Structure 1
Amino acid sequence: MTAADAGWGVSTVPTARGRVGVRLRPAADHGVVTPLVAILHQSPLSGWTHEPVLDHLGHRGPVAVLDTPGYGLSDPLDPATDDLAVYAATLWDAIEIVRAGRPVVLVGQHTGGHLAMIMAAAHSGVVAAVVFHGVSLYTDDERAERAARYAPDIENAGDGTHLATIWARLAHLYPDVDIALRNRAVCDYLVARPGYASAYRAVFATPVAPMLEAFRTTGIPSAVLIGSADLIATRQDRVARELGSRVVRLPGLTDFAPWEAPADFAAALDELVDELLTQGSGPGGPHEH
């Protein structure tokens, strides 16, 4: 049986701060302790964005895609907070449940990349490697500009015009993305609690330099996997400079690369996970994977 034949399911797991939505593909390693690959999505979407990875990844350990608190099937944080570390801690509590003692490889896209850095620094004895599916290392000025302009509130309107506002935003950001994917993204905007911009605000409120330094000092190996047409593809050279991460660009693919070319994305991720686990001297490296 191949790893992809294991199938996967959707559930929620309880944490002290609420339930976290998880798409989980069980291990196919028959007792060999290979790492859990834990995938963290971009804001303001949810774990469906990486469902094709569950169908195509060759990694024989378990694979989990987690919904950020307040998105998808995950409960919102109560009380609400702009502290990104609280988001990270909640997700880590869910990872602790599903990893069952295994080391962890974190895969984080955009907001998920920031969360992965925070988790890795806090749990360096467990995290074996990090793959950034794109991450923005904002300067303080960039954070301030983004906080002021990037994610304005969208209030529900009785006449439904808020739906047109969401659609216009998605059409502007992703003019070439399949309409079916944009439809799913609209649903994420609508169900996000307390609002679609909550995790964005937490990212923009978090200084990057100390987060980056805390991650760098762990020595955990990292790489970048991103579509060349991803909204933040041009920002990955900064990641390479700061962390020495190898950057793999998938030609012509957008933020939705796992859906646009699922086999190619999964093959590239498999290669990077193998490479990083071989490099790493910490938990999970090297293993059969």
Structure 2
Amino acid sequence: MSTTVRGGYVDTRWGQVHYRIAGSSGPWIGLLHESPLSSKVYESVLTVLGRDARVVAFDTPGYGASDPPPAYGYEIPDYAEVLAEAATAIGMERPVLAGVHTGASIAIEMAHRLEVSGLSLSGVALLDEQERAEFLATWNPKIPFDDEGAQFDWAVERYRRIWPDLSAEMLHIACIEVLRVFDRYEWGYQAAFRHDPAAPLAALDVPVMLLDAEFDMLAHLDAKAMELAKDPRLNILPGLQGQPHLRAPEEFSAELLAFAREVAR
């Protein structure tokens, strides 16, 4: 049976938040993407999960088709507050929140502002101070921009470098989405690198699944997340270089649905 994925907008204090939604029954699942992309990365996951769950993929404010924060400098808890407002307006009830990288940090903070059943996290940025400072200084250089297309060459080189063995479809999605927000692509990155998710993760009393690609650039931090979470479980998708939602959407969706059904009981 085919699944219809619909788009929508909800008004928040920062303007409109764009989302994609699928499914009409089953547990609620909220999907939060990595910077500087959009809910487009969850298109296949929405199609799969929508058969058995009510699933919503949000565009983080400032990315995709969501309005940006009022200015640069807002923090991950601010993003979480706005997205919790959006989830409430949509009518989501005790969802499982699933986040990748920046989306994982947002999911942790959203769980302090919204009643949730559990969290599924891929790539929790539990960085030490040196790692944090290095990411802040080097990860999001200014994008070149000229009439000869330097910005396009930059985007292709960047994603070929940071996403090993990516497909043509993944390269297309990544390049389109980062260039769509080229003038503010670093906003969410910088907020995520400034944010330390350790204390808010440790303070949660909900089940946490670490659903990660085996070779994700942050997978080495899963052990630290397991120590901090009160009710954790670790689920590694073997052989993947990262981006489990894009590289293995069927497997990612199956694990996420099983977790959502477990915590709903």
Same fold judged by TM-score > 0.5?
A: yes
Residue 8 of structure 2 aligns to a residue whose secondary structure is strand
**Contact 2:23 2:49 (C-alpha < 8 Å) held by counterparts:** no
Structure 2: state its 5+ residue gaps.
none
48 and 254 in structure 1: CA distance in 2 versus 1, 3 angstrom threshold: farther
Deviation (angstroms), 1:11: 2.1
Match of 2:103 in 1: 112
**Contact 2:104 2:124 (C-alpha < 8 Å) held by counterparts:** yes
Q: Deviations over 1:197-228 (max 9, x none)?
A: 1101111222x1xx432332231110111111
**Contact 2:63 2:181 (C-alpha < 8 Å) held by counterparts:** yes
**Contact 1:130 1:222 (C-alpha < 8 Å) held by counterparts:** yes
Q: Deviations over 1:76-103 (max 9, x none)?
A: 1113323222211121111111125x21
96 and 193 in structure 1: CA distance in 2 versus 1, 3 angstrom threshold: farther
Matched, 1:7 2:4: yes
**Among 16, 20, 39, the residue aligned to 1:19:** 16
User: Whole-Å Cα distance in 2 between the matches of residues 193 and 162 of structure 1?
Assistant: 9
Deviation (angstroms), 1:5: 4.4
TM-score normalised according to structure 1 size: 0.85
Which residue identity does 1:117 align to in structure 2? Answer: I
Residue 234 of structure 1 aligns to a residue whose secondary structure is helix
**Among 35, 51, 67, the residue aligned to 2:59:** 67
Which residue identity does 2:225 align to in structure 1? Answer: V
Deviation (angstroms), 1:252: 1.6
TM-score normalised according to structure 2 size: 0.92
User: Whole-Å Cα distance in 2 between the matches of residues 234 and 204 of structure 1?
Assistant: 17
Structure 1: state its 5+ residue gaps.
278-284
Match of 2:169 in 1: 180
Aligned identity (percent) is 28
Residue 122 of structure 1 aligns to a residue whose secondary structure is coil
Residue 111 of structure 2 aligns to a residue whose secondary structure is helix
Matched, 1:151 2:140: yes
Match of 1:282 in 2: none
Q: Deviations over 1:233-272 (max 9, x none)?
A: 2221221122252111111223332232222221111122
Match of 2:43 in 1: 51
Instruction: Work out the number of aligned pairs and report it.
Output: 264
Which residue identity does 1:228 align to in structure 2? Answer: E
User: Whole-Å Cα distance in 1 between the matches of residues 21 and 135 of structure 2?
Assistant: 33
Residue 112 of structure 2 aligns to a residue whose secondary structure is helix
Which residue identity does 1:180 align to in structure 2? Answer: E
